Amino acid sequence: EELEGRITIGVLVDRELPIYTQEYEKIREEARQRFLKRA
């Protein structure tokens, strides 16, 4: 709750580390879903 509204999701694209980018997308989507459920 303390960080609500303070977390900025940016864009991360790294052609050298596609697996890392995929994992980042999964985490980002999960965070977005959790945020939407709380709203």
User: What pLDDT shows up at residue 30?
Assistant: 93
Task: Look at residue 7 in the predicted model and tell me its pLDDT.
Answer: 60
Q: What pLDDT, on a 0 to 100 scale, did the predictor assign at position 29?
A: 92
Specify the pLDDT at position 12. 58
Q: Residue written as tokens 């509204």? A: 5
pLDDT of residue 33: 92
- Every domain of the chain and the residues it spans: 1-39
1-39: pLDDT as tens digits = 555 666 666 665 556 667 777 888 899 999 999 998 986
Identify the pLDDT of residue 22.
83
